[in-house]
Amino acid sequence: MHSPLEQFVIKPLIPLEIAGLDLSFTQSAFFMIAGLIIASTFMTVLFKKATIVPNRWQNVPEFFYEFIYGMVYDHVGDKASKFMPFIFTVFMTVFMGNMLGLLPYAFTYTSHIIVTATLAAMVLTIITLIGIVLHGFHFFSLFLPHGIPWFVAPLIIMIEVVSYLSRIISLSVRLFANMVAGHTMLKVFALFSTMFGISIGVFPMLINVAFYGLETLVALIQSYVFTILTCIYLRDAVKLH
């Protein structure tokens, strides 16, 4: 009997060790590259012959673009076009990781905290750099709200810095936990189907079909949540409030 958690084990496809470091090409890296290629090809091919009156296939990438642009515009206003490539890349990275993981025998790279935490850290670093470029050292006023008495300023600054850095945890843990929980549940009911045979196993199989639909919805929602939180954090850096 296989463990439901076995699906999250990272396995090397091309073993490689250099100076004692394991630099193997894993199935996680494979699906990251696959997600990049699929998303890039999808957007490039469908927009290559774009027309003023879009056809059915052109409507798909335009929907994604307009949906993400609407989120960015709602938070940063007229500067949305400058940050659209950044936010769109974040969304597609999470979206492809979540959706590819729903395919049979695929690997969900967003189910690993190291991946989601690294992505969240990169997002926060880029947002911080954007704030510094736009506002210079005035950006750090974000950590000291106006009107705070001087004698509590050190405590407030410490709290604000910790709160700011905890955004990495907020972004990464939510995504990682939802992906692990959902895929584990799917695996458990799949195991029930094989354990009970055809006569009884059909019931957990039907439940698993319902859970699969729910997990697809969760994958979409988590892609949206990660992106909308990124937009909110970007707004703070752009508008400093």
Which residues have a Cβ under 8 Å from the Cβ of 183 and sit 6 or more positions away? 7, 8, 101, 108, 111, 215
Nearest-angstrom CA–CA distance, 181 and 8: 11
Least confident of 74-88, 145-159, 182-196, 226-240: 182-196
Query: What does pLDDT average to over the chain?
Result: 87
State how many domains the chain has.
1
For residue range 155-181, what is the model confidence (pLDDT) as tens digits?
988 998 999 999 999 999 999 999 998
Q: Residue 198: which pLDDT band, with cuts at 50, 70 and 90?
A: low
Distance CA 220, CA 202 (A): 27
Check whether 147 has a pLDDT greater than 70.
yes
> Which of the two residues, 241 and 215, has the higher pLDDT score?
215
Rounded to whole angstroms, the Cα distance separating 82 from 238 reads 12
Q: Find out whether 193 and 134 touch, Cβ atoms under 8 Å.
A: no
Q: What is the pLDDT of residues 57-79, one digit of tens each?
A: 778 888 888 899 999 999 988 88
For the stretch 179-192, pLDDT in tens is 998 888 888 877 77
47 vs 126: which has the higher pLDDT: 126
Say how far apart CA 70 and CA 85 lie, in whole Å: 13
- Determine the longest span between alpha carbons in the chain, in angstroms: 73
* Residue 89, token pair as written in the block: 């890349």
Query: Can you give the pTM of this predicted structure?
Result: 0.88
d(CA 163, CA 169): 10
Boundaries of domain holding 127: 4-239
Please give the torsion angle defined by the CA atoms of residues 114, 117, 122 and 123, in that order, rounded to the nearest 10 degrees: 150
Question: Which one has a higher pLDDT value, 17 or 223?
Answer: 223
pLDDT at position 94 is 95
Phi, psi of 12 (to 5 degrees): -75, 135
